[in-house]
Amino acid sequence: MPLPERPMPAETLHARLQQEGVTQRDLLRSHDSRIPGTHTGWIDVDIHALTPLFLGTAGEDGKENRPFVINEAPAVPGSALRGLVRNQLRLLTGGETGPVNTPQLFFRAPVSSADNPRSRTVMQELHRLYRDERHGTPPSLPSNPMPAGFLRHEDGKWRIYPIATERPLKIQLEHLKEDFEECFSDLPPFPLPPEPGQENEEKRENYIPAEYHREFQHLKVTALCPEIDVPKKNATYEYNYWAMAVLPEGEAMEEGDEEAVRQRLDHRWKNRKSQDFRRALEENRHEAAPIRELTCVLVLTGVAAGGRKNAYLFPDEGAGAPLDVPDDLVALMESASQVTQFQERNFPNDEDVAVGRADPGRPAVRDNKYGSFARNTPEPVWYRTDDSGRVVSFGRSGGYRVAVGDTETTPIERAVPAAVLSPQHAKNHAPGRAVDVPRALFGDIDLFGAEERVTAARGRISFGSAVSTGGAPEYPHPLRVELLNPGRLCFANYVVQPARNKWGTRPDLLTWAHEDDIRLGGYKVYLHRYDGDQRFRDMSPSEDRKGDTERDIRPIDKGAGFSGRITFTNLTSAELGGLLRALLLGNPPGGGDQHNPTHAHKIGMGKALGLGSVHIRPRLYLVAPEARFESLDPDAGIRAADRTEVSDHLAAFDGALTEWERSEAVRLRRAGPDDWRSIARVEALLLATQWRDRLPWECTRPMDLKEYALYPVLPTIQERFSYCEAHRRPS
């Protein structure tokens, strides 16, 4: 759903009160007092499950996850209902937003770089533009290497000392394993990864991934490297940066070591097709090449699987002039969202350092995760500099993803309009900024300016849990589903692609977003997808062992009913209308047919799998506090609002929303909406929440990894519905 340039200000819904002299400050702090001209009461909500529904609790290892219950009755937690309503209100009014779970934006790289023309073209174009924009040059061997050096923390400052050689040395993992077994008796085994497609289950199960290779990480060794006396343009020149063998640190090369180096060099050159290598073999250059002995630090850069077959060696002598590294860049790289599982396991805190190593002084990062940079010892890194020589990015591998292109702002800050970016994701926000509608209704910690003694305000809406009304049977059998958290690539789906004319089937279609030329496409929504129970019967657990990301869940079956209550205090008619609109969406004031409604919500887990579609029917009750104060009758001052009154509140909100969007259209010099339904953002929401006229199952099928890699940046919801409607099969 598209982002607005600015959120709808909450004061748009307070206009009538402000005309009567009530300030926004008084209204937002009125949860414990009465404001004349506002409405207080509650909304009873009846929730009907249109598909199986799962809001559960984590089960013990190996056991299925059961539904959330209150007094042994299945229930929808109040927190889940609150999140649903707040999100719908945010979508309607264009409220503040931020990243899903990480402050970094990464490009989406095709995974089929070798077997698809589009993917190859995209990858080449991606690398060219991405690296050019990072003020660097492609690491095309042998002429333009990626700079590397040692990151040091000294005198309270961070610096990178470039390595003495043009680039780090490489060594094949196969050679490394052989040398470890023969010369390093005090090290544990170093098994190689299974080859792609290898069916040796025993080898696959016994392989220790590189995440757990920290005993080898930053190990001091003596590297044996041939010195080939040829021009740089000669293909064999690259072997000046290939170590053919390693020895323990300080151990001198013997005759047998030199022979092994030359045999490996001879074997590798025979497998190369270049004329330069054939000529080198004919001239016996490997026999004449002297062997350099370099003291190096071993660097493992990631999971050694598939195409990853090499390790790196950083010469630790003769470092170049230091380059200053901004503190905030280091802080960003050490953030919990940036530290990967590989980094966490390979770079532990001080207590987990292998015996006999120097204390690196690694403090735990946020949330007690490890993976920070050493304070007491140098750490090998690759880096980029701008034209002035300033370090703009660095990482623990040569192909690191750039987390930030400018140390003053993050990619998210550049991708989201400043007025829409929530404060926890921006550096330039201060308390007292314009209040959007969700913050005004639900409260926040910084609703008022710094001049106020207290900047927070409590929300004027509260949510109770919705408990089963008796018709909530569990699904006949558990479902085995794959439930994943949004990862660092999650934003790639929502990013607006600047070159829209590249959509389609052209092989040069770009499926990535560059961090300096991007715009967040909008808010995330899930479409309804359901065509019968057969889909879920196919998810029955098998006898096979579960994968790491698979869970066995026991959802509540479709047809289940829940009843809950939402209470509110001092809402204006337009605010109350906004709350009702978030519950009703485009349904009529009475909610419509609960078994086959026009619009429905999504709640709980497994939304992308077709779980969690529910219809909500609200029943509004208003309270007159004066009447209740004057009578002991428990029903005094309470009345149920009829559909006409509900329609009036909805009209107040719809009218205020339309007028705001029209004023924005004038400011931005574009056509304004005819009514609230024709606002592009609302139109997208009403399409996404369609139940009765939802898209066919095949139009909402999740993509596999290869499809995702080659798929264009997602079109708008309107474009998707138009395309699918034009190709809808006759029922």
pLDDT tens digits, 680-702:
999 999 999 999 999 988 888 77
Q: What is the pLDDT of residues 597-628, one digit of tens each?
A: 999 999 998 888 889 999 999 999 999 988 88
Element spanning 416, H or E: none
Higher-scoring residue by pLDDT: 586, 122 = 586
Q: What is the pLDDT of residues 119-161, one digit of tens each?
A: 555 555 555 554 554 444 433 333 456 789 999 999 999 999 9
Q: Residue 504 above 50 pLDDT?
A: no
Out of 172-186, 436-450, 524-538, 686-700, pick the least confident.
Answer: 524-538
User: What is the token pair recorded at 298?
Assistant: 């071993």
Out of 244-248, 457-461, 503-507, pick the least confident.
Answer: 503-507
Euclidean distance between CA atoms 438 and 422, whole angstroms: 12
Give 374's pLDDT tier (boundaries 50, 70, 90). confident
Q: Per-residue DSSP letters for 211-269? A: GG-TTTTT-EEEEEEE---S-TTSGGGGGGGB--EEEETTPPP-HHHHHHHHHHHHHHH
Give me the chain's average pLDDT, please: 78
**Domain residues of the chain, as ranges?**
10-102+439-726, 172-317
Q: Residue 402 above 70 pLDDT?
A: no
Euclidean distance between CA atoms 623 and 630, whole angstroms: 13
Query: Residue 625's pLDDT is what?
Result: 84
User: What is the CB-side half-sphere exposure of residue 731 using CA atoms within 13 A?
Assistant: 6
Sign of the dihedral through C-alpha 58, 64, 69, 71: negative
Out of 352-356, 545-549, 617-621, 664-668, pick the least confident.
Answer: 352-356
Give 12's pLDDT tier (boundaries 50, 70, 90). very high
Higher-scoring residue by pLDDT: 342, 323 = 323
Query: Residue 409's pLDDT is what?
Result: 53
Euclidean distance between CA atoms 315 and 293, whole angstroms: 10
Euclidean distance between CA atoms 684 and 692, whole angstroms: 16
Query: Residue 266's pLDDT is what?
Result: 82
Q: Residue 305 above 50 pLDDT?
A: no
Q: Residue 635 above 80 pLDDT?
A: yes
Determine what percent of the chain is predicted with pLDDT higher than 90: 32
Give 171's pLDDT tier (boundaries 50, 70, 90). very high
Q: Residue 399 above 70 pLDDT?
A: no
Q: Residue 223 above 90 pLDDT?
A: yes
Q: Residue 584 above 70 pLDDT?
A: yes
Cis peptide before 142 (omega within 30 of 0): yes
Euclidean distance between CA atoms 432 and 341, whole angstroms: 38
- Highest-scoring range by mean pLDDT, 45-59, 303-317, 554-568: 554-568
Query: Residue 357's pLDDT is what?
Result: 58
Mean per-residue pLDDT for 668-686?
A: 94
Query: Who contacts 553 (Cβ-Cβ below 8 Å, separation ≥6)?
Result: 54, 56, 64, 65, 478, 479, 481, 605, 606
Query: Residue 512's pLDDT is what?
Result: 39
Query: Residue 277's pLDDT is what?
Result: 74
Mean per-residue pLDDT for 214-237?
A: 80
Give 97's pLDDT tier (boundaries 50, 70, 90). confident
Q: Name 551's bridge partners.
A: 481
* Nearest partner of 623 among 564, 565, 566, 569, judged by Cα: 569
Query: Residue 404's pLDDT is what?
Result: 40
Q: What is the pLDDT of residues 426-485, one digit of tens each?
A: 554 555 667 899 999 998 887 877 667 777 888 999 999 999 987 668 888 888 887 655
Out of 175-189, 275-289, 588-602, 706-720, pick the least confident.
Answer: 706-720
Q: Name 622's bridge partners.
A: 41, 639
Instruction: At 287, give phi and psi (nearest 5°).
Output: -75, -30
Mean per-residue pLDDT for 644-673?
A: 96
CA angle 122, 124, 130 (to 5 degrees): 95
Query: Residue 101's pLDDT is what?
Result: 45
Query: Residue 543's pLDDT is what?
Result: 62
Sign of the dihedral through C-alpha 393, 394, 399, 401: negative
Query: Residue 423's pLDDT is what?
Result: 64
Query: Residue 613's pLDDT is what?
Result: 96
Determine what percent of the chain is predicted with pLDDT higher than 70: 70
Q: Residue 639 above 70 pLDDT?
A: yes
End-to-end CA distance of the chain: 29
- Highest-scoring range by mean pLDDT, 55-69, 158-172, 579-593, 687-701: 579-593
Euclidean distance between CA atoms 43 and 580, whole angstroms: 9
Mean per-residue pLDDT for 487-516?
A: 42
Query: Residue 58's pLDDT is what?
Result: 61
Instruction: At 225, give phi and psi (nearest 5°).
Output: -130, 130
Query: Residue 75's pLDDT is what?
Result: 93
Query: Residue 358's pLDDT is what?
Result: 62
Q: Residue 411 above 70 pLDDT?
A: no
Query: Residue 503's pLDDT is what?
Result: 38
Q: Residue 279 above 70 pLDDT?
A: yes
